[in-house]
Structure 1
Amino acid sequence: MAFLEISNIQKRFGSQTAVHDFSISIEKGEFITFLGPSGCGKTTILRMLAGFEAPSVGSIVFDGKDVTHVPTAKRNVGMVFQSYALFPNMTVAENIGFGLKVANVGKDETEARVREMLKLIKLDALAERYPWQMSGGQQQRVALARALANRPKVLLLDEPLSALDAKIRISLREEIRELQRELHITTVFVTHDQEEALSISDRIVVLNEGRVEQTGTPSAIYNFPRTRFVASFIGTLNQLSGEVVDTAKGEIRVGTQVLVTSNPLDDLKNGQKCTLAIRPEAITLDAPGAVTNGKNTVQTVVDDVSFLGSIVRMRTHLGAEVVSMDVFNDPNQKLPVRGDTVSLSFAFENLLVLA
């Protein structure tokens, strides 16, 4: 049995169902992210793990113990909130030690753990400061230390970085991941930020309207989305309307050109409409006369070329379909201009058929 087992939980609020039949097995020390738009049920699931909400149906097991109806105080979980939730009238050290005091941990041990946590978050010199004397990033590190001070079995993080500016957010998410690995603590992280989820997770659960769309590694979620929602929600994506020409050969017509996918077309029929997807970075701008054996090659007309710093994004059209591609910025490369006809190519396996 996995360290954390969530089995077929549902959550209903009156006639509305916020979470539909959610299940996942999480191993000890794993970093799992629940990712999705606002209202998709991710925070509701986190609150059920914390014990703030009870599932309408289903069970939650921590380390072999059923905690579905166990009060929060007896679950041994650490929770970090979006709003920090620090006590303004307590110093940093007092905030970190508050949970230990409530748990009746001895004074000497409390002081030792507080020192340990201060060292862990690299705020030893700020132990006597108050929250209002600190930056947002420092406050969130204190909130993290307070959650870890009780040595919880599971760490729950509810969009802890959303109130911070971009640069601090990147730095702090790296610190959180480093701490999580150092302590080998099972962690569930909630966010709506795709980059955040992709950069720090062992696995990602993509949620939509209370249901799981896909679960997998960041690489699998990004490169091989299984549904239209996942494909469009994670990163930038070209979506093309096509018609199946030959299921056996994986041939699909887009506009006047026939493309080939390595995906099986077992669930489709010849003549059936379908949606194809391909990432902009999977497309190559071919030099005139280039040989592209083993790839799809299409002729498109350039609509726009945008300089975005390290990359250049080119928007083209293939019949009625828009195809964008990204290339690394090379100051020595001459780029096409609006109205030019260009040849683009991409591997068969990079063309996905969406469910």
Structure 2
Amino acid sequence: MALLEIENLSKTFGTNTVLHQFDMQIERGEFITFLGPSGCGKTTVLRMIAGFETPTRGTIKLAGRDVTHVRTRQRKVGMVFQSYALFPNMTVADNIGFGLKVLGRPQTEIKARVKEMLELIKLPHLAERYPWQMSGGQQQRVALARALSNKPQVLLLDEPLSALDAKIRVSLREDIRNLQRELGITSIFVTHDQEEALSISDRIVVMNEGRVEQIGTPSEIYNFPRTRFVASFVGTLNLLSGQVVDPASGKIVVGGQELRTSHALNSSDAGKQRMLAVRPEAIVLEAPANGRNTLAATVEEVNFLGAVVRIRTRVDQSVISLDVFNDPNRRLPERGQPVALGFSHENLLVLEEGA
């Protein structure tokens, strides 16, 4: 049985439905990330799991117990907020021990747990400081320790790194992931940053306009997006429109040129226009070769980006970009030059209809 079971969860504010039929099972020890743009419903789900919002419909079960209408303090969840939400008039030690104090734990237990948490976040020397005397990264570590102090079954993190600069974000997200693995605690992380999601998650839930677009591992989400939104939101993508001419063999024509997918398509797709996708890094400049898709294109722009050179080409009505590593000995094509773009059948993605 999954540790956290969410079934048919929906949320409406007045006439505005912000979450539509969210379903998911989360296993013990998993690190799950809710990924999507602002307003997609990811924080709403998190707040309902925490008990800060009540679902309009649906159920939430934690360790087999229905907690849909149970008060927050009785759910055994810990929450880390985007704004840290530390008490400015309390020391670091008092902030970490606050939840245990509210629960009526003995003072000796609180002191021992606070000491343990300070060691865990590597800030034992800052126990008597106040939040305003610390950096943003240190404050967020204290917020994390406070959320973990009462040994929650699920740790919820609502965009905890968004207020930090880029270098600290990378360091702290690695610390959070390492800590999660060390404790084995089930965690749900909310972000709109695709790199964050891809780098630390066991599974990612991609959301858009209150609906789940796709759930999968980072590799599945990036390499095999099912919808146009997922493909466009996660990573850089080339989109093409092609007509299916032979579903059984996966044959599709783009601008008069024949491409093939690695698998058969539905017979009902014959004659239809379908949206196709291919990642820039999957494309190479090469002469036509057997066993690969090839498109004749014309170079429109060559952009030097340091370690990578991005080449923008045109095929019929579509612009296709590809990335090559910067090699001083490589001769790059020039604007207006005809080139052949090669990529494997497996790297040609056919997106779901209506996506």
Both structures adopt the same fold (TM-score exceeding 0.5): yes
Q: Which runs of no fewer than 5 residues in structure 1 stay unpaired?
A: none
Q: d(CA) in 1 for partners of 2:175 and 2:153?
A: 19
Matches of 2:19 and 2:104, distance apart in 1: 36
1:340 to 316, 334, 337: 337
**CA–CA separation in structure 1 for the residues paired with 2:7 and 2:96:** 33
Name the structure 2 match of 1:124: 124
Question: Is the aligned partner of 1:266 residue 2:252?
Answer: no
User: Does structure 2 retain, via aligned residues, the 8 Å contact 1:263–1:352?
Assistant: no
Q: Is the 8 A contact 1:277 1:352 kept in 2?
A: yes
Work out whether residues 191 and 197 of structure 1, in 8 Å CA contact, stay in contact via their aligned partners in 2: yes
2:88 partner SS: coil
Counterpart of 2:280 in structure 1 is: 280
Partner of 2:62: 62
Taking the TM superposition and a 5 Å limit, the aligned residue runs for 1:206-245 are 206-245=206-245
Contact 2:292–2:342 under 8 Å retained in 1: yes
Distance in 2 of aligned mates of 1:69 and 1:222: 36
- Shift, 1:175, TM fit: 0.3
The one-letter code matched in structure 2 to 1:316 is T
1:72 has 2:72 as partner: yes
**1: distance between equivalents of 2:263 and 2:152?**
44
1:24-173 equivalences under 5 Å are 24-173=24-173
* Deviation per residue, 1:47-82 (Å, 9 max, x gap): 000000111111111111111110001011100000
What residue identity is the alignment partner of 1:315?
A: R
Aligned to 2:320, the other structure's residue is in SS state strand
Deviation at 1:265, TM superposition (A): 1.5
In the alignment, residue 65 of structure 2 is paired with which amino acid? Answer: K
**Percent of pairs identical after alignment?**
70
SS in 1 for 2:327: coil
TM-score normalised by the chain length of structure 2:
0.97
Q: Mark the runs of 5 or more structure 2 residues left unpaired by the alignment.
A: none
Residue 270 of structure 1 deviates from its aligned partner by 2.6
Taking the aligned partners of 1:267 and 1:11, their CA distance within structure 2 comes to 38
The number of residue pairs the alignment matches comes to: 352
Q: Alpha-carbon deviation of 1:271?
A: 2.1
Contact persistence 2:249–2:263 (CA under 8 A):
no
Q: How far is the alpha carbon of 1:331 from its aligned partner?
A: 2.0
Separation of aligned partners in 2, 1:285 and 1:22: 43
Secondary structure in 2 matching 1:137: helix
Indicate whether 1:328 and 2:319 are aligned. no
For the structure 1 residues 169 and 267, does the alpha-carbon distance in structure 2 shift closer, same or farther, using more than 3 Å as the test?
farther
Contact 1:244 1:268 in 2 (8 A): no
Contact 1:41 1:208 in 2 (8 A): yes
Is residue 188 of structure 2 the alignment partner of residue 188 of structure 1?
A: yes
Q: In structure 2, what is the equivalent of residue 313 of structure 1?
A: 310
Q: Which runs of 4+ in 1 moved over 4 A?
A: none
TM-score (norm 1): 0.97
Q: What CA distance in whole angstroms lies between the structure 2 residues aligned with 1:315 and 1:110?
A: 60
